[in-house]
Chains A and B, each alone.
Chain A
Amino acid sequence: MKEILRDGFSGFSGEFADLRYEIIRSTQIVFRGKDLETATRTVEQGGGVRVFNAGSEGFATFSRPEDIKNALAEAERLARISKPKEEVHLARVEPVVKDFLPDIVKDPRKISLEEKVELIRRYNEIALQGGDKITSTTAVYKDDEVERYYISTDGTLVREVRVYAGIAISVIAADGSNVQSAHISFGDQRGYDTVLNRESDVEEAIKDALDLLNAEKVDKGTYTVILDPEIAGVFIHEAFGHLSEADHVYRNEKLKEIMVLGKRFGPDFLNVVDDGSLRGERGYISIDDDGVLPERTYLIKNGKLNARLHSRLTASLMNEKPTGNSRALNFQYPAIVRMTNTFIEPQDATFEELLDGVEHGLYVVGALGGQTELEMFTFSSKKAYVIENGKIGKMVRDVVLSGNVFETLMNIDKIGNDLKLHGGLGGCGKGGQYPLPVSHGAPHVRIKNVVIGGK
């Protein structure tokens, strides 16, 4: 395959071109309520060629390797239609010639469809037997083997195999027109072990869905909040991760002034990292889609802006170093600047120390999602509990937190010692490319003055 792909480039004389070719073999099993809706294996394959010409790019897709020449010619035609006002070139990197293969103990590719169906059927049955008020469920198992080839006119030639596996289960409880749901999701590149022994997590989801039926809506206002690792991870992804993506900044002089390296963003004890090299995590990559190896990038170090996430284009324009963060959802999309595994580094505080001194606050657990417009952001929780005088009290629902990155990061006043990364089956969305596999995490984190909408 490599030879066929390389031959496709012969005769190209322009500035730069690269190619991604992927073969994606997937298994997906979906239960809705008691019905098994699908238990399906699929194979898809295809590729995309990019030609870079002084800052303008052309991108063309193809489905079979013999069509590369045509795709290359089309991408070159598109790249030559016009140029940006100022000529730019990609940052240089060393060529990589290597095969990257997964290193997993229990390989989902070696497990039969039947065994996978039985696993997710069992979880689904536990959920359905959760009581009269459990009205329905959705239980999904999914694995993907992505065999990818990346080749560029720089001399890079890589074959890489990634294996993702995960489950997502929703438990839906209803009492009259009151419908509440609880969700769990586990997924990464560690293999089949990630989806095993999740019975107690399903039990917890049942309990949450039932408890939410009786929980009151949160009172609106400004609160001190303690975020659990999952939602603190979404918080740092939304509140700061996206703002660190250099494609928002690279041509905006005003934003560059705000995002100048060395500027204080948080307290001294705040360190924020993006690291694509963490094997096994959902956001792990062997190499990015510009041919750059992943690395650990400190976005915030000791409270100060330390670096940002780059593609080779944004790095070149900002005179900084590529960080291995150029990623495409799949062969049908061009690569853009994306996160990988993003997290807040742990500090010393125990959970009890975080609770201590909170007179009236919220303990916020689990994440349904988040969104940002770079400065203002929101993130939404699965459940939350009122904190009164340092004690966790009753459950409340519909806790959606909102903030302003410049204030909220400064308002972090304690960071716990219990870092956890969370992957799942979802992902990050940007520029119409969703869901890109990422993980995010943090220890428990305490933040003052967070706005929460409500009744």
Chain B
Amino acid sequence: MKRKILDILAKKHVNKYDVIIERNNVYPISFEQNELKILQNKNVTGIGLRIFENSRVGYSYTNDVTTFEDVVDFARESARYGKELDLDLPEESELPSLSIYNDILWDERGWVNKGKEIIRKIESISRDVKIDIDFTKAIMDVELFNSEGFYGRYKKTLYAFTISGFAVLDSGFTFVFEVESSTRLFSDIDRAIDELLEKLDRARRASKIKSGNMPVIFAPLSMMSLIRSISLGVDAVNVKRGISPLKDRIGDKVLSEKITILDNPYDYDLTGVKPFDGEGVPTRITKVIENGVLKTYLHNLETARYFGVNPTGNSQRNYNTIPTPGFNSMVIACGERSLQDIIEDIDYGLLVEEVIGGGQSNLLRGDYSVNVGLGFLIENGEVKGRVRDTMISGNVYEDFNRVIELSKESRKFMHLEIPYIAVDGVSVTSK
């Protein structure tokens, strides 16, 4: 495919460009409401072209190489209107070597049987719960090259196991969710199932919580929208646009000194693992926030040039998107004590497992206001029953300056690694 694309680019006299080719194969096996539902074999191929002409940039993409001549015309048309931009595209370079391709035979019948076995096991313990399960294998093949001599290609596998349970309990409708994902075959399905069952078991008891400001422990799965604010804040595009609260704050303490956040594109168990970014810059481990102090923003080529710094290898790009800075894999460093020890120190507070409505507040500013989908009262150092009709709200940049402690346990899922985080003085509203 590369040969054909290069021929067309030469024939059409495109002088400065980069091209991304993605070939992804995805094989999900899904159970719905305790029954096998669907097996899929999906192939997603796409080619994205970016060209630089007359100091302007243009893009287009397709999923069919036979239409690539049109893509060149569309990209050229786009460059007539596009913003002024000239970039030093990466040249040939040495890339980190990562073993991220683990193509294990996908035994569909075996996984179907495994799913049925899991459902039988859960049914024997908890008759009233309905289970959805997905086993997914994906093979991602990414090829990137440009007019300045860079060529890179990597293949990586992704395996994901997700399980969710839904039950109508006396304490209310209850959703519980767990996920295991890695570039290697899932190793810890049983852990996910045990944790799911434990959450479900706890949800059967109901507790009331008083409104007020109190210590709240955020479980890893509950924090996705909260940390999204931080991702947006360190995105150099938002800083450049003047809309990030972290603008002009490099070197300042912006969060509690207990918080350290890395971009780690070398962890095989996180899905953002990769040798080079969406523009061909080699990836590296970056300390973004160290002991609460902002060390760097995340850059693509354009923002690195604008701020006069080296690119950080954080350009995220699919064939149909333009390169945008973001975490490859976001890691919040763990603390020293166990979750259990942290709970024991709390007289009255809330353990939040899952939230409803994350991401609907002013995320840039760091605001959040969410319903506690699954959360438990903590009283006298013990986890009590489930609370309902309860919201928590606040601001990440304010609240994460009042961190009590981070747990030594963390959860890795998709491109995130997060411990439990205990925060003091969070606003809790209950009916």
Contact = CB atoms under 8 A, between A and B. Distances in A.
Contacts of A48: 42
Contacts, number: 243
Given A78-B40, A334-B38, A368 B360 contact: yes
B98 interface: no
B128 A453 contact: no
B427 A454 contact: yes
Given A38-B82, A373-B373, A400-B393, A179 B322 contact: no
A64 B64 contact: yes
Which has the most chain A C-beta neighbours within 10 Å: B34, B358, B361, B369?
Answer: B369
A369 B427 CA distance: 22
Given A41-B77, A61-B42, 7 more contacts: A40-B61, A44-B64, A255-B168, A370-B357, A370-B360, A376-B388, A451-B431
A222 to B, nearest CB: 6
A307 interface: no
Interface residues of B, number: 77
A329 interface: no
A251 B392 contact: no
Given A78-B39, A135-B242, A380 B60 contact: no
B40 A58 contact: yes
A371 B357 contact: yes
Contacts of A394: none
Interface in A63-78: 63-64, 74-75, 78
Nearest to B322: A38
A344 to B, nearest CB: 21
A179 B360 contact: no
A181 B364 contact: yes
A454 B42 contact: no
B38 A44 contact: no
Interface string B88-118: 0000000000000000000011001100100
A56 B357 CA distance: 33
Interface in B152-175: 166-168, 172-173, 175
B44 A332 contact: yes
24 contacts: A42-B60, A42-B320, A43-B62, A55-B36, A59-B41, A79-B39, A82-B109, A113-B81, A136-B241, A174-B242, A180-B362, A220-B393, A251-B35, A369-B359, A370-B357, A373-B373, A374-B175, A378-B370, A380-B369, A404-B172, A404-B388, A404-B389, A451-B391, A452-B429
A368 B241 CA distance: 22
Contact of A455 (B44, B128, B358, B427): B427
Contacts of A180: 362, 365
Interface in B314-356: 320, 322, 356
Ranked nearest first, the 4 interchain pairs of A and B with the lowest CB-CB distance are A378-B357, A453-B391, A375-B173, A380-B360
Nearest to A334: B38
Interface of A: 29, 32-33, 35-46, 48, 55-64, 74-75, 78-79, 81-86, 113-114, 117, 135-136, 172, 174, 177-181, 220-222, 247-248, 250-252, 254-255, 258, 332, 334, 368-380, 397-398, 400, 402, 404, 451-455
Interface string B52-72: 000000111111100100110
A333 B39 CA distance: 12
Nearest to A31: B83
Given A135-B243, A179-B243, A78 B168 contact: no
A270 B244 CA distance: 43
Contacts of B269: none
A370 B46 CA distance: 32
Contacts of B242: 135-136, 174
Contacts of B358: 371
Contact of B41 (A74, A181, A451): A74
Contacts of B109: 81-82
A63 to B, nearest CB: 6
Contacts of A174: 242-243
Contacts of B166: 248, 252, 374
Nearest to B240: A33
B84 to A, nearest CB: 8
Contacts of B370: 378, 400, 453
A56 B36 contact: yes
B393 A454 contact: yes
B188 interface: no
A60 B42 contact: yes
A74 B211 CA distance: 56
Nearest to A138: B241
Contacts of B43: 61-63
Contacts of B67: 43
B401 interface: no
Contact of B361 (A177, A375, A398): A398
